[in-house]
Amino acid sequence: MAADLPGIVRLRDRREALTLRTILTAARTLFAEHGYARTPIRRIAGEAGVAPQTIYAHFGSKAGVLTGLVDLLDDEAGLPDLMARSAEIDDPGTLLHLLAKASRQVRERCGDIVAMLDSGAAVDPDIAATRAEGARRNRLGVEMVVGRVRETGGRLVPRATDIAVALMTGGIPDSLVREAGWSYDDYETWLAETLTTALLR
């Protein structure tokens, strides 16, 4: 009976969420240091301080852990909060700036995960599948904001979603921030202005 009390259930949920985050954080570190292929589940378990069976129970496989990193990226980059804010915004330019902020936060907070997925996709099918899932989620987020722009009366060019996705992904952020030495503030400002110019009629 006590196990059914809401407070106990919430505590169990918090402990489980903490365990999942600990596993994903350990995997993130180890994949970056040793590569996905050279990081066995037992090593992730040791780093996270859990039994390998715990990882299998939550994620099913190492590929499942990798997919979990996309969830971690979404969370650490604050994407659910940004998408929720889009429902409260009625200005098309502000909505497009929200996309720029999302792109900036993904790169700034989780650039290591993005780089691992980009570099590994060509050589490992698990990584390629996870990268495709990340790209699918990114496109859905962009489509949601573009839909909001339309709802507010913003007049968009044809294929606005395609253009926005292209500007936010690929080598553009790395080229500007890592290679050209731009700050993330510079990148966010440029992207917001470029999205507004390129997408709004």
Residues contacting residue 43 through CB under 8 Å, at least 6 positions apart = 30, 34
Percent of the chain predicted with pLDDT > 70: 94
Summarised one tens digit per residue, pLDDT across range 85-125 is: 999 999 999 999 999 999 999 999 999 999 899 888 888 99
Q: Is the pLDDT of residue 128 over 70?
A: yes
Reported residue count of the chain is: 201
Taking the model in full, what pTM does it have?
A: 0.87
Q: Is the pLDDT of residue 131 over 60?
A: yes
List Cα–Cα distances, 121 to 87, 115, 192, in angstroms: 34, 10, 29
Q: Is the pLDDT of residue 6 over 60?
A: no
Q: Among the CATH numbers 1.10.10.60, 3.40.630.30, 3.40.50.300, 3.30.450.90, which is that of 2-60?
A: 1.10.10.60
pLDDT of residue 123: 87
Q: Is the pLDDT of residue 138 over 50?
A: yes
State the average pLDDT over residues 44-60: 96
Q: Give the integer Cα–Cα distance in Å for 100 and 107.
A: 11
Q: Where are the domains of the chain?
A: 2-60, 72-199
Residue 200 near residue 163 (C-beta atoms within 8 A): no
